[in-house]
Amino acid sequence: MKLIVLNDNVPSKGLKNDWGWSILVGRILFDADTNPLVLAYNSKALGVELKGLKFAVLSHWHYDHYGGFPYIAELNPGLKLYAPLEGMAMAMRWGFDPIPVTSPGEIEKRVYTSGILDNFEHAIGIETSSGLVVIVGCSHPGVDRLTKAVLDASGYKKACLVIGGFHSPPLWRIDNLAKMTELIAPAHCSGDVAKEYVKRRYGEKFVDVRTGTVIEV
Ligand SMILES: [Fe+2]
Ligand SMILES: [Fe+2]
């Protein structure tokens, strides 16, 4: 399965970039960045088709994660969007078939949600041939807590990869996280301190992410 970072805070030559997060996992879109134009431009430049998605997931209702969703709904009318409850009416107006995420569990075959933590944000785990890949948005409730909840929901003891925004965590959260996953890919709002810490302390686990990064799992 291919993971393609459509936008990350870190730019890449030949791609557009802004503050936001959007990643394609197989034919599942997780979060949709801030700006539809960035998604449109980068998907073309990366040779990725955003029409015909299987379903989409929104981690939490912050603009740097949902800004591009009206564009995604335009390309995929009636697409299922798994998201926290509060934005359902808006998602419907955009043209989605919104499905509120509440408790932890399997939402689609081999796809698990952490359930909504702190009334705000969820993360998902996707079963791949290499194991469970955990995708997070901003990790406001804590990347270790979200990952633990995804592991519990899926029955896995350990993830093969955790990727997404870690929200400048206190370093003990990264120590917790390191025990739960083979690979760590801090992106989006993780911050330089957290990235450097993972690189230095868990070098063998560190995966560098930027706009346009492709990871094969
Ligand atoms: Fe964010
Ligand atoms: Fe956020």
Q: How far is the CA of 65 from the centre of ligand 2 (A)?
A: 7
Task: Kindly give the parts of the chain with pLDDT less than 50.
Answer: none
Cα 209 to Cα 10, 83, 88, 89, 139, distances in angstroms: 8, 24, 31, 33, 16
Ordered by where they begin, the domains of the chain are: 2-216 (3.60.15.10)
Q: How far is the CA of 154 from the centre of ligand 2 (A)?
A: 24
Ligand closest to 61 (CA) is 2
Task: Tell whether pTM > 0.95.
Answer: yes
Ligand closest to 187 (CA) is 1
Q: Which residues pair with 117 in a beta bridge?
A: 121
pLDDT attached to residue 72: 98
* pLDDT one-digit tens code per residue, 181-208: 999 999 999 999 999 999 999 999 999 9
